[in-house]
């Protein structure tokens, strides 16, 4: 530690620290623009000039390393004169357009100009004008306002991992731009808007819609990925105008993914439901809540009398709050059914009877930053968990070895130590190879139930390298991504991962797909296992073809759009259309009228109080930030009234907090219930002689849940581009197709017409066709056999 | 995109730096590419970026920073006249004006026959030789007088 003195106060700063670090420690504010705690030091705005004893001229606090006995003056005449001089130069070319600038009111330049700017400018010459750039649908530019701090450039290089913006030209002609007018496509691009200290980069969807001081700021939690990013939701006239990050170093740091930031547009979508609707004599009509609820209750009672309670099922999105999930399962169990599930995209449920606890991340999110070796299995990491990918990117810079086993070879924008790209049906074998490598290196005995699998595989070179990385670098962890969790051999993969982790003394877990993937287990939104086994999502939606019994006749759907949210969209729609009575509780109209009988408008996360439990088991409650739209009601209230109308006991809640208290009583620690381990499970040797084409059907980043699917600006980003049938060039040649050709893609009875595209990072004989997209919903399961024909 | 000879030259430059610091060769690579192509089109910069494993925008930053990189097609001979202070005091502006008159073009313009492009340059580090001008980035002409300019233009016109 080095002792210095700033403005007469003593402070100790670690060796290599800067004057700025010391000042922050003391709570002394030094004006700055280019300095940002998460970015590298550029020292190009010069606003943080301070006086240092024995230095001949003012020094930039952000770039001056501390030295023993250094005396710094931040408010001395020399410092203030220097800062005022810098401000005068910054303002020379800065337009005086604060009244029409979106940054006005939250602008660092505006704020500091009040303190350091002169009342009048001495500059009478022409100001420079810089043409605006088109950076895509999310970022709006006013480049004349730019003060060249290069925060946006450094963010791209260091945090997003891809340098999309740069500073071209020199001196007077310097300007921020992208290469040949490319758009900024990073899934973290919105953070550049926050970082910009002036109004050069502002939010395009928010532009000119409100002044910042008119907005009220309310805390909330992101309803999308399992991370549970902390949000500030800004509201005007009972409408969500904008979403910003709320700093939480343990979760989202000071960042937000574009999905979390811009999806609010979906809350104000035209497609929002505002009134309950019922289908009477095949005619849809709007009605009041009383009629709708009575209609729903009557329908459910009829199904129960006609077919029995076992023919009633509930399917819910894991983006619902735990209160909603809990009441839904309470309702369905009170009806006498055990059929409830939230794992709509999962296809392999063999692990249900083997679970020892609630599957979770296995470590804290913050712990990812400390890892020395990590193995990620089956994940479109950058798209599904943009900020976890960001954490890993930073950890790689500090020496983390990143190992990947994946069916796709997408660029993670960081250094990958070892990578295995294999077809989906070879994932199990690859994991078995790694397990074998671990046991060989450590000279361990293989568990009996795995002997057959292990003896059937050889240790490949790459498996040996991954095993070595996990064994030698500590701490290590293995994470299963969304694709692994949706995989038809999920259980086998998990068992192998468990054994690898145990042998390598590593942590293992799942990257939570949705905001409440963990909370839904805790709330009991999973089929009963103990007394009478309930139907899981796949069975209820008729995906599990091995099962003989027919799926349900009565369905309660919550926040779910079957064509987008299920593993096999084709099958799910068919089952629901065939069912006798379907209640759809949803915030959106969607296509519910084609399969439902009652549609109940429920509130999205901004209009209800609730709780999400993120993938690391962190319980985060939030309040509604606006009042419900139209006659929309929070789902927990709807379920409470349904319970009352059905005359069940225990549905007399007055606040969502009471529901929460029933799920997680204050004194009870939920961490004890988190456990990824399975009881003994014999895994089967998969048959790889199958040479048919296989589908790789991940969920695209902006199709994952009903809100984001309706976020207009996100839907025109490059990440939301029209789906294509991606194949490696060898396969294209084999099928006599060229990239760009229109092809017919067939699966089960459904087909889709798409353009073929070439990606040589894909494994052979695999076709990557995304699921959950309107162009591909006619197809079947996310993984499985697929046919491609040239048109 | 670039000829094998140019690539060989670029590889020679890359070899001067550590293996993981290939992008250190960006300035030489751009100069070599420009020697072959005459100017740096976006595609050329993109190619150099790929070749050196760096983001295209980072290459663009370098190419726009330095005057000697031509970002648009030019005449056969680029004449760059220094007009910075020491040259200007020794007649740099007169030299520039004479060339302008002689070729009937202004700065940043190309003669109708596509032979000459005139550029205003900045200090070339030869103030003692002022006024100076540079032909195609490589040939420095010192102590320029009107006669010498006549001679030079005649020589180049052949």
B56 and B106 share one domain: no
B123 and B101 share one domain: yes
Work out whether strand B133-135 and strand B77-82 pair parallel, antiparallel, or are unpaired. antiparallel
Sign of CA dihedral A315, A316, A317, A322: negative
Residue B99 has pLDDT above 60, yes or no: yes
Chain A residue with the nearest C-alpha to that of B56 = A179
Q: How far is CA A201 from CA A144, A179, A207, A295, A662, in A?
A: 11, 17, 11, 51, 46
Residues of B in contact with A155 (CB under 8 A): none
**What pairs with residue A633 in β-bridges?**
A602
How far away is chain B from the Cα of A411, in angstroms, using its nearest Cα? 14
B116 and B142 share one domain: yes
Phi, psi of A77 (to 5 degrees): -60, -45
Please report, for chain B, how many H helices and E strands are present, in that order: 7, 5
In 3D space, the residue among A603, A602, A613 whose CA is nearest the CA of residue A516 turns out to be: A613
Phi, psi of A394 (to 5 degrees): -70, -40
Work out whether strand A239-245 and strand A230-236 pair parallel, antiparallel, or are unpaired. antiparallel
Q: What is the mean pLDDT of chain A?
A: 94
How far away is chain A from the Cα of B55, in angstroms, using its nearest Cα? 6
Other CB atoms closer than 10 Å to residue A46's CB: what's the count? Answer: 20
Q: What DSSP state is assigned to residue A304?
A: H
Question: Which tokens is A153 given?
Answer: 């450039």
B84 and B147 share one domain: yes
Q: Which residues of A touch B (CB under 8 A)?
A: 162-170, 177-180
B57 and B117 share one domain: no
The ipTM assigned to this model is 0.90
Spatial separation of the C-alpha atoms in residues B66 and A556, rounded to whole Å: 66
The pLDDT, as a whole number, for residue A665 is 87
B100 and B142 share one domain: yes
Residue B70 has pLDDT above 80, yes or no: yes
The pLDDT, as a whole number, for residue A545 is 56
In 3D space, the residue among A464, A477, A508, A501 whose CA is nearest the CA of residue A402 turns out to be: A477
The pLDDT, as a whole number, for residue A549 is 60
**Cis-peptide, bond into residue A475, ω within 30° of zero:** yes
Please check whether residue B123 lies inside any domain of the structure: yes
Question: Which tokens is A674 given?
Answer: 């988190």
Please check whether residue B72 lies inside any domain of the structure: no
| CATH code of the domain containing B36 | 1.10.10
CB pair distance less than 8 Å for B58 and A170: no
B86 and B147 share one domain: yes
**What pairs with residue A509 in β-bridges?**
A479
Spatial separation of the C-alpha atoms in residues A586 and A601, rounded to whole Å: 5
Listed as own residue / partner, the contacts of A273-277 with beta carbons closer than 8 Å and 24 or more positions apart are A273/A586, A273/A587, A273/A588, A273/A589, A273/A599, A273/A601, A273/A630, A273/A632, A274/A601, A274/A629, A274/A630, A274/A631, A274/A632, A275/A601, A275/A630, A275/A631, A276/A598, A276/A599, A276/A600, A276/A601, A276/A631, A277/A593, A277/A598, A277/A599
Q: Which domain holds residue B139?
A: 77-157
Cβ–Cβ < 8 Å for A361, A510? yes
Q: Which residues of B touch A (CB under 8 A)?
A: 42, 45-46, 55-58, 60-61, 64-65
**What pairs with residue A724 in β-bridges?**
A755
Spatial separation of the C-alpha atoms in residues A279 and B127, rounded to whole Å: 89
**What pairs with residue A582 in β-bridges?**
A555
Q: Which of A154, A155, A160, A168 to mutate to test the interface with B (most CBs of B within 10 A)?
A: A168
**Cis-peptide, bond into residue B131, ω within 30° of zero:** yes
The pLDDT, as a whole number, for residue A686 is 62
CB-based burial of residue A417 (10 Å sphere; 0-12 exposed, 13-18 middle, 19+ buried)? middle
The pLDDT, as a whole number, for residue B1 is 87
How far away is chain A from the Cα of B58, in angstroms, using its nearest Cα? 6
Cβ–Cβ < 8 Å for A608, A624? yes
CB pair distance less than 8 Å for A167 and B42: no
The residue with tokens 């330095």 is B66
Angle CA(A258)–CA(A259)–CA(A264) in degrees, nearest 5? 105
**Mean pLDDT, residues B33-60 taken together:** 96
The pLDDT, as a whole number, for residue A548 is 52
Q: What DSSP state is assigned to residue A18?
A: B
**What pairs with residue B110 in β-bridges?**
B117
Spatial separation of the C-alpha atoms in residues A484 and A507, rounded to whole Å: 17
3-state secondary structure of B141: strand
Q: What is the DSSP string of A114-150?
A: HHHS-SS----SPPP--------SSEEE-GGG-----
Cβ–Cβ < 8 Å for A267, A606? yes
Task: State which residues of chain A have pLDDT below 70.
Answer: 530-532, 544-550, 667, 685-690
Cβ–Cβ < 8 Å for B149, B155? no
In 3D space, the residue among A560, A596, A646 whose CA is nearest the CA of residue A300 turns out to be: A646
CB pair distance less than 8 Å for B61 and A164: no
B102 and B124 share one domain: yes
Spatial separation of the C-alpha atoms in residues A424 and A405, rounded to whole Å: 10
CB pair distance less than 8 Å for A169 and B55: no
B87 and B152 share one domain: yes
Choose among B45, B46, B57: nearest Cβ to A163.
B57
In 3D space, the residue among A723, A695, A708, A659 whose CA is nearest the CA of residue A781 turns out to be: A695
Residues of B in contact with A166 (CB under 8 A): 55, 57-58, 60-61
CB pair distance less than 8 Å for A178 and B57: yes
Sign of CA dihedral A238, A239, A244, A246: positive
Domain count, chain B: 2
How far away is chain A from the Cα of B153, in angstroms, using its nearest Cα? 31
**What pairs with residue A725 in β-bridges?**
A756
How many CA atoms within 13 Å lie on the side-chain side of A552? 33
Spatial separation of the C-alpha atoms in residues A577 and A567, rounded to whole Å: 17
3-state secondary structure of A697: coil
Give the distance, in angstroms, between the CA of residue A308 and the centroid of all CA atoms in the same chain.
39
Spatial separation of the C-alpha atoms in residues A472 and A104, rounded to whole Å: 53
B23 and B89 share one domain: no
3-state secondary structure of A656: helix
Ramachandran assignment for A283, one of left (phi > 0), alpha (psi -120 to 50 degrees), beta (any other): beta
CB pair distance less than 8 Å for A166 and B46: no
Q: How far is CA A611 from CA A116, A296, A539, A622, A658, in A?
A: 45, 26, 28, 6, 12
Predicted TM-score (pTM) of this structure: 0.94
B91 and B131 share one domain: yes
A402-414 b/e with 16+ CB inside 10 Å = b?
bbbbbbbbbebbb
Cβ–Cβ < 8 Å for A501, A211? no
Please check whether residue B140 lies inside any domain of the structure: yes
Q: How far is CA B95 from CA A187, A688, B83, B143, in A?
A: 54, 78, 9, 10
Chain A residue with the nearest C-alpha to that of B41 = A180
3-state secondary structure A744-774: EEEECCEEEEEEEEECCCCCCCEEECCCCCC
CB pair distance less than 8 Å for A179 and B65: no
> Maximum Cα–Cα distance for chain A, whole Å?
92
Other CB atoms closer than 10 Å to residue B3's CB: what's the count? Answer: 12
Question: Which tokens is A114 given?
Answer: 């009040």
Question: Which tokens is B123 given?
Answer: 């200090």
In 3D space, the residue among A60, A45, A59, A47 whose CA is nearest the CA of residue A148 turns out to be: A45
Cβ–Cβ < 8 Å for A452, A482? no
CB pair distance less than 8 Å for B60 and A162: no
Cβ–Cβ < 8 Å for A185, A219? no
Residues of B in contact with A154 (CB under 8 A): none
Q: Which of B23, B57, B120 to mutate to test the interface with A (most CBs of A within 10 A)?
A: B57
B60 and B81 share one domain: no
Question: Which tokens is B30 given?
Answer: 């751009």
Rg (C-alpha) for chain A, rounded Å, is 28
Residue that terminates a domain, selected from B65, B91, B117? B65
Spatial separation of the C-alpha atoms in residues B123 and B82, rounded to whole Å: 6
CB pair distance less than 8 Å for A166 and B42: no
Choose among B42, B46, B57: nearest Cβ to A166.
B57
| CATH code of the domain containing B135 | 3.40.30.10
Q: Which of A180, A182, A413 to mutate to test the interface with B (most CBs of B within 10 A)?
A: A180
Choose among A163, A169, A177: nearest Cβ to B58.
A163
3-state secondary structure of A419: strand
Please check whether residue B71 lies inside any domain of the structure: no
Residue that terminates a domain, selected from B65, B89, B106? B65
Residues listed for chain A = 791
pLDDT tens, position by position, B110-143:
999 999 999 999 899 999 998 999 999 999 999 9
The residue with tokens 């990824």 is A676
Residues of B in contact with A135 (CB under 8 A): none
CB pair distance less than 8 Å for A169 and B64: yes
């Amino acid at each position: 530690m080095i002792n210095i003195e700033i403005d007469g106060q003593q402070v100790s700063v670690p060796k290599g620290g800067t004057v700025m670090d010391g000042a922050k420690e003391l709570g002394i504010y030094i004006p700055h623009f280019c300095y940002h705690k998460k970015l590298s030091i550029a020292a190009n705005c010069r606003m943080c000039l301070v006086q240092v004893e024995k230095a001949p001229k003012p020094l930039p606090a952000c770039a001056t390393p501390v030295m023993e006995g250094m005396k710094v003056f931040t408010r001395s005449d020399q410092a203030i004169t220097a800062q005022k001089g810098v401000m005068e130069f910054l303002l020379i070319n800065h337009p005086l357009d604060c009244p029409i600038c979106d940054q006005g009111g939250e602008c660092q330049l505006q704020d500091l100009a009040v303190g350091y700017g002169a009342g009048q400018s001495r500059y009478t010459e022409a100001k420079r004008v810089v043409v605006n750039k088109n950076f895509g649908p999310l970022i709006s530019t006013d480049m004349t306002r730019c003060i060249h701090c290069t925060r946006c450039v450094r963010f791209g290089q260091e945090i997003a991992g891809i340098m999309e913006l740069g500073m071209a030209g020199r001196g007077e002609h310097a300007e921020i731009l992208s290469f040949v007018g490319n758009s900024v496509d990073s899934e973290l691009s919105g953070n550049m808007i926050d970082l910009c200290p002036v109004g050069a980069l502002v939010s395009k969807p928010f532009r000119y819609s409100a002044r910042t001081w008119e907005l009220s700021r309310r805390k909330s939690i992101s309803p999308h990925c399992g991370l549970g990013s902390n949000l500030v939701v800004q509201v005007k006239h009972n409408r969500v105008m904008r979403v910003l990050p709320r700093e939480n170093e343990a979760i989202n740091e000071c960042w937000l993914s574009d999905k979390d930031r811009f999806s609010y547009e979906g809350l104000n979508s035209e497609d929002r439901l505002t009134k309950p609707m019922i289908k009477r004599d095949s005619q849809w009509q709007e009605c009041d809540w009383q009629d709708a609820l009575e209609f729903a209750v009557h329908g459910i009672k009829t199904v129960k009398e006609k077919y029995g309670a076992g023919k009633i099922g509930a399917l819910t999105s894991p983006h619902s709050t735990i209160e909603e999930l809990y009441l839904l399962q309470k309702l369905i169990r009170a009806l006498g059914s055990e059929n409830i599930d939230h794992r709509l995209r999962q296809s392999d449920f063999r692990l249900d009877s083997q679970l020892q606890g609630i599957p979770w991340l296995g470590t804290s999110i913050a712990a990812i930053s400390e890892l020395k070796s990590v193995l990620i299995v089956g994940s479109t990491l950058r798209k599904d968990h943009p900020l976890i990918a960001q954490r890993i990117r930073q950890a790689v810079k500090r020496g983390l070895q990143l190992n990947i086993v994946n069916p796709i070879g997408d660029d993670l924008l960081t250094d990958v130590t070892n990578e295995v790209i294999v077809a989906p049906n070879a994932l199990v074998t690859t994991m078995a190879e790694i397990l074998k490598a671990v046991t060989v290196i450590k000279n361990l005995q293989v568990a009996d139930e795995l002997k057959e699998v292990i003896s059937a595989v050889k240790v490949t070179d790459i498996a040996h390298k991954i095993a070595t990385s996990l064994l030698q670098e500590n701490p290590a962890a293995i994470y299963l991504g969304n694709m692994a969790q949706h995989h038809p051999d999920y259980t086998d993969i998990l068992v192998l991962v468990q054994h690898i982790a145990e042998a390598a003394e590593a942590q293992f877990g799942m990257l939570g797909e949705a905001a409440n993937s963990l909370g839904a287990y805790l709330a009991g939104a999973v089929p009963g296992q103990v007394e009478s086994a309930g139907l899981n999502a796949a069975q209820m939606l008729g995906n599990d073809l091995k099962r003989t019994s027919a799926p349900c006749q009565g369905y309660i759907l919550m926040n779910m759009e079957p064509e987008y949210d299920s593993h096999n969209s084709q099958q799910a729609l068919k089952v629901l259309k065939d069912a006798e009575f379907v209640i759809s509780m949803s915030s959106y109209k969607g296509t519910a009228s084609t399969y439902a009988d009652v549609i109940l408008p429920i509130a999205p996360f901004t209009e209800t109080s609730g709780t999400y439990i993120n993938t690391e088991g962190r319980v985060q409650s939030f309040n509604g930030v606006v009042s419900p739209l139209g006659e929309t009601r929070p789902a927990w209230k709807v379920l409470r009234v349904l319970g009352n109308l059905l005359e069940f006991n225990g549905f007399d809640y007055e606040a969502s907090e009471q529901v929460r208290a029933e799920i997680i009583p204050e004194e009870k620690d939920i961490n004890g219930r988190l456990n990824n381990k399975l009881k003994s499970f014999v895994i089967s040797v998969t048959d790889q002689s199958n040479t048919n084409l296989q589908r790789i059907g991940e969920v695209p980043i902006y199709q994952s849940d009903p809100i984001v699917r309706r976020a207009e600006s996100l839907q025109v980003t490059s990440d939301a581009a029209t789906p294509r049938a991606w194949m490696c060039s060898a396969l294209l040649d084999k099928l006599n197709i060229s990239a760009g050709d229109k092809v017919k893609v067939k699966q089960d009875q459904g087909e889709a017409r798409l353009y073929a595209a070439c990606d040589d990072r894909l494994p052979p004989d695999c076709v990557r066709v995304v699921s959950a997209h309107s162009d591909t919903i006619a197809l079947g399961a996310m993984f499985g056999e697929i046919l491609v024909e040239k048109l | 995109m670039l000829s094998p000879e140019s690539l060989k030259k670029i590889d020679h430059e890359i070899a001067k730096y550590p293996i993981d610091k290939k992008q250190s060769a960006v300035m030489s690579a751009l100069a070599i590419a420009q020697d072959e192509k005459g100017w740096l089109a976006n595609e050329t910069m993109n190619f150099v970026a790929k070749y050196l494993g760096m983001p295209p925008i980072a290459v663009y930053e370098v190419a726009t920073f330095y005057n000697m990189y031509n970002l648009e097609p030019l005449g056969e001979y680029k004449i760059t006249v220094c007009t910075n202070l020491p040259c200007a005091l020794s007649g740099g502006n007169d030299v520039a004006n004479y060339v302008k008159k002689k070729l009937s073009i202004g700065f940043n313009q190309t003669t109708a026959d596509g032979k000459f492009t005139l550029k205003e340059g900045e200090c070339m580090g030869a103030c003692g030789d002022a006024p100076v001008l540079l032909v195609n980035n490589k040939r420095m002409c010192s102590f320029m007088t009107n006669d010498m300019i006549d001679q030079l233009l005649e020589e180049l016109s052949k």
